[in-house]
A and B are shown apart, each in its own frame.
Chain A
């Protein structure tokens, strides 16, 4: 009987001992599927979604950077520039060949409005909390839609030039202006949140002439336009009202650079191999700790090149 107990105990223990971790081996299809899924989920560019772009003079909407975009217009012979996506991702505004803003629906490209009352637009964008389009034209900020209370650029001389204007929805605004007789453009920055009302000649010793508030968190992007390269040559991102370059990028001329602070990705149009392409640059370190300038993680959208400059706008 004792022998019986010993043998039965061993057989029972064997059942327990036989249970171990799950096998690491998979079928070929399962292994490839899992590998692709893990790589995709780790790729910061896979998280980029909801941006509009003008490619070959037609408007496209990308639900994801790596997805097939929806073509919203079919008029490649009609010039289109300066595309902007509304905060609710339901409307797109762009400038037509005559320089008038055209507003279309994001879901089907239907033209909603052509704003012939506005022209010679230097910069425009949607407000971040409502369907109001603000446009810088001839040193004045105009609105289409509900008016927003702002501090209009101060003009002291008829030949003063406001080159860039941007604002967020929490009372921050900024514009670059070149005063008559002054070679440089200065940033006039106002923040209701931080109680700042200052003018800056340069930032960290460099000169800039473009500003874009990319969210409502005290973050904005400044750029310096390179006339020789016909694009923005350098971009600096300021985070949380901390006037220090949290991110910067100057590898190549950029058209309509757009930054998302959560993903730490800069998206823009640029020339690659003699054609215009959409390019993303990961400027963070958590997903990919780059080993230097030439090891920065980038993603070029190869499937949608353009013979004309690419304009884009991104509302994640």
Chain B
């Protein structure tokens, strides 16, 4: 029993901020919402150079504000594994000069991402108690891991595996259709902007040479929500 209490104490101490936020919101919340959202993550920009659109899933717990029922705040947990475009990608290596152009091959492992996002949603009724427009914003963290291997015809090999943290910002727009008082369906599209965190100082404990790298993707999805 003491050990259980100790674990609970440690957990609360470590996640004090989130717990405080939860109790604050609960003090002003009137209704709870649980959502599960299968989605399709479409990489953009440089992420799309090597990864293709791949499925993902989000689980979310939201609280409807007591004073303003059109406002929800919540916490979302998501998982995505972006699949590489092909087993092997090819590129041209140019070392300059006569005969200095060669072929390089790139191999990428799936890019696995765990997302934790604090969210805020705003609801704009279109048909009272039936249909509404939902807009959302969120900030959070993403832990991503992948391995990349680059080889070229001149013998250079670069093999790197990374598990790094990203700060993320999410914007979301969709519709909510209430099937019953408790169940609703919400097609949506969200945009995730992520930037690698870390330290550019090579002597720092959190040194990450990729600090500041940016990635982004779109995610059309469908939420199935239960209110209680």
Contact = CB atoms under 8 A, between A and B. Distances in A.
B94 interface: yes
B102 A35 contact: yes
A157 interface: no
Interface in A88-112: none
A193 interface: no
Contacts of B46: 20-21
Contacts of B44: 14, 17-18
Interface stretch (A37-45, A71-79, A201-209, A300-308): A37-45
Contacts of B94: 38
Nearest to B122: A3
Interface residues of A, number: 33
Contacts of B193: 10, 14, 17
A26 B191 contact: no
Contacts of A27: 90
Q: Of residues B85, B102, B124, B191, which shows the largest number of chain A Cβ atoms within 10 Å of its Cβ?
A: B191
A35 B101 contact: yes
A18 B45 contact: yes
A10 B193 CA distance: 10
A288 interface: yes
A39 to B, nearest CB: 5
A25 B137 contact: no
Contacts of A21: 46
B65 interface: no
A23 interface: yes
B92 A31 contact: yes
B48 A288 contact: no
A34 B137 CA distance: 44
Contacts of B155: none
A32 B45 contact: no
A42 B100 contact: yes
Nearest to B93: A35
Contacts of A30: 90
A83 interface: no
Nearest to B45: A20
B89 interface: yes
Nearest to A18: B44
A297 interface: yes
Nearest to B134: A7
A283 to B, nearest CB: 14
Given A10-B171, A17-B45, A35-B101, A26 B92 contact: yes
A17 B135 contact: no
B61 interface: no
Given A14-B218, A25-B49, A31 B91 contact: yes
Nearest to A19: B45
B135 A4 contact: yes
A236 to B, nearest CB: 25
B135 A25 contact: no
What are the nearest 6 A-B pairs in CB distance?
A: A18-B44, A31-B90, A10-B171, A23-B49, A25-B89, A14-B191
Given A24-B91, A39-B98, A288-B97, 10 more contacts: A6-B171, A10-B191, A11-B171, A23-B48, A23-B49, A25-B90, A38-B92, A38-B101, A43-B98, A44-B98
Interface of B: 44-46, 48-50, 85, 88-92, 94, 97-103, 106, 122, 124, 135-137, 169, 171-173, 191, 193, 214, 216, 218
6 contacts: A17-B216, A18-B216, A24-B49, A32-B90, A39-B101, A43-B98
